[in-house]
Amino acid sequence: MNKTVIGVLASGRGSNLQAIVDAIEAGRLNAKIGAVISDNPNANVLTRMADTDIPTICIDRRQFSSRQEFEAAVAEELNIHHVELVVLAGFMRILTAYFIDRFGGRIMNIHPALLPSFPGENAQQQALDYGAKVSGCTVHFVDEGMDSGPIILQEAVPILEDDTADTLSERILHAEHILYPRALALYCEGRLKLEGRRVRII
């Protein structure tokens, strides 16, 4: 079976990207990373890929006068690298309809909470502040809303009595590193079928 070409958009640390790279190398994910694009010139994710042959590209948002121009530049790079599936991995920008229309149904994100609870930033702190006993992570398709697209996979993680945002984030991140490659593998195997809001695994 052909490898699906993935384009990863990331703004920071890049641990989910690393988990995806590891899954590919271990033969758990039949994909190829066509490009890693960061909007942040100082992102650790760019140096993390330095020893690989994966193309890394920095597209600095500050060099564009509008969101649409920035997104057009990102879309162009993705197309140059023949990207079939766009994977958001800690990408700290909301994509507009302009971009989503171009890659409709082919953009995934991972969020560190059990959606639809605690969307947006600081999801782990939101869960703690709310007093939730369980949180987790969600892989979903991206639509125009904030963390509102159809859910692909979720994994629950307990919230412990003495948790801080840091300890909870670490526990959730561990689950993310397993869940994201699994969701990508399902996509690459053609096993995800969108029916309205529901993503069926076939």
- Residues near ligand GRF (CB under 6 A): 10, 12-16, 89-90, 110-112, 173, 176
Nearest approach, Cβ of 177 to ligand GRF (angstroms)?
A: 8
Min. distance of Cβ 172 from ligand GRF in angstroms? 7
Annotation marks residue 140 as catalytic: no
b/e sequence 92-108, b meaning 16+ C-beta within 10 Å: ebebeeebbebbeebbb
For residues 168 and 127, is the Cβ–Cβ distance under 8 A? yes
Nearer to ligand GRF by C-beta: 80 or 178?
A: 178
DSSP states of 73-86: HHHHHHHHTT-SEE
Among residues 111, 140, 174, 177, the one annotated as catalytic is: 111
Q: Which is nearer to ligand GRF, 13 or 32 (CB)?
A: 13
**CB-CB contact of 17 with 10 (8 Å):** yes
- Residue 93 three-state SS: coil
For residue 32, give the DSSP letter: E
Q: What residues have CB less than 8 Å from 31, skipping those under 6 apart?
A: 3, 4, 5, 6, 20, 24, 85, 184, 185, 188
| Of 80 and 146, CB closest to ligand GRF | 146
The Cα–Cα gap between 5 and 81 comes to 8
Residue 14 C-beta: closest distance to ligand GRF, Å = 5
CB of 10 to ligand GRF, least distance (A): 6
Given the complex with ligand GRF, which of 72 and 122 has the nearer CB atom?
122
* Catalytic machinery residues: 111
